[in-house]
Structure 1
Amino acid sequence: MFLARFIQYIKFEKRYSPHTVSAYESDLDQFTRFLNNPGNATVAPEPIITHPDQISYHDIRNWMVELIDQKLTARSVNRKMATLRKYFKFLLQEGVITQNPTSKIRSQKIPKHLPVVVEGESLAKMLDDDKIFSDDFPGLRDKLVVEMLFGTGMRLAELLGLKDSDINDYEGTLKVLGKRNKERIIPINTELRILLGRYSELKKSENFHNNSLTLIVTNKGADAYPKLIYLIVQKYLSNISTQNKRSPHVLRHTFATSLLNNGADLNSIKELLGHANLSATQIYTHNSVERLKSIYKQAHPKA
């Protein structure tokens, strides 16, 4: 009952994305299973805990230890703890509980990793190569996917959520709905505008039965889905990169790093990426420092 109320709250009042709501449901279901059967959280036994006020700090701490023992990353553990914090904060506001058992839970320290990027110039050359992408609808759609991710730095979910009406060809901009339903405007370059025009015309000529309003669609005209975008990006990045990680987010990192290397200031990059604070954007400065070190070692006689 309480879980259902919480899910309704984040879905309709907080207006979280379907992906986020699904993640919250999964985390809370996993936690409930652990509480009712700590020895085997994959089995759903008879309920032992019937009210949230029976849940203690130690229960949550024990689940945290269980997750760590399962070799989950610190980031994954922290995300699940964030779900519990949100849930119990909601219960406290609703008067269901009188104390928040997550108040003493501390987040795991996340090791800092440099963002994985591909070489911007190689990527640009690949996109300009007419032999790489076919002239039919799938080929043009694939090229648009890679161009959009590299040319705007948008997230995967933002790309999937784009509608035809979000493109303003006259202004040369597009409207993106980011995290927490925060809208931002991103400029698009001339080549991308031309590509969008070609894609839109070809999309109309395909006469898809469902007439989806979503910008990126499948070969049959249905709304695109995450795995499709991953497969597209992996396919084309394999032409220029041998690294294992070839995801849509690599193109977002490449977008930000390219801007920084070419003189863009951090605040502008922050706005383009839709970051809530500057600290999230500052990680890209490390890549630039490493690049400068590499240039120094190659060029300086005393290096």
Structure 2
Amino acid sequence: MELVQYFLEEIDREGVISKKTIEFYKSDLEFFEDFLEDVSLDKVTQEELDRYLQYIKDRYSENTVIRKITSLKSFYKFLLKKEIIKESPIDKISTSRKNIKIRDKIEERELKAIIDICPDDFVGERDRIIIKLLASTGLKIVDILGIKLFQLKESDYKNFSLNQRNIFTIIDVYPELAQEIKEFVEKYKIDSLFIFEGVDNQKFKTNFIKYAKLAKIDRNVVPSMIKNRYILEKKKVDTEEELDEIELFEKIKKEYLRIGIGDEGLK
């Protein structure tokens, strides 16, 4: 943190960079430090940097990824100038959009068709809920399948905790989906550690592809495309001042309610 503080104080003193940009630098560099855990910022290896870049590409929009890389470039350029390091570990990393391109996404009509086609039995209702959680949180399937039932019950199904690299994040569930999950648990008397006990990544993927065929979707679609859609939706609501998490959640929730996710009338 000392190097970050030194950097922030120096660029603030120079008065060339805006206060807002300095705030972004501070947020991005602290985020990077948290990711590195015990690794010093002036001792970062290429392997650690590659892991970080993949991590943020998997979770953020192109604009945010580019900004986070730019923050690191500015920071390490400063360390070079002050002769704290001999070479920048991020100089060879490009901020070109072609290098940060989001992969293929599922379309709105395709997502709605798959949700509609899920049958009204245990497996169908379970898979429908999983799809809605994927669509509204942007999490990976492994994270969704790892949701613990007691956490949902403790919050009255309004949120659950996600542990990533020993960093705990509270993930909100929008009200309509929370009610649907609660009804699902009560209807099928689920009483296991994990709410989706008995289904793994491959089983869900197989079911998802089957639903897509039943919905007459004329191309290959897979669950990972849902996350890509989330990232692009997030990008739409990103602004230069960047939305906070609550505002972002509300905007994405409204979008999915608009296309029918969470609308009980779809069943």
Q: Which has the larger radius of gyration?
A: 1
More helix per residue: 1 or 2? 2
Structure with bigger RCO (C-alpha 8 Å, 6+ apart):
2
TM-score for the superposition, normalised by structure 2: 0.47
TM-score by length of 1: 0.42
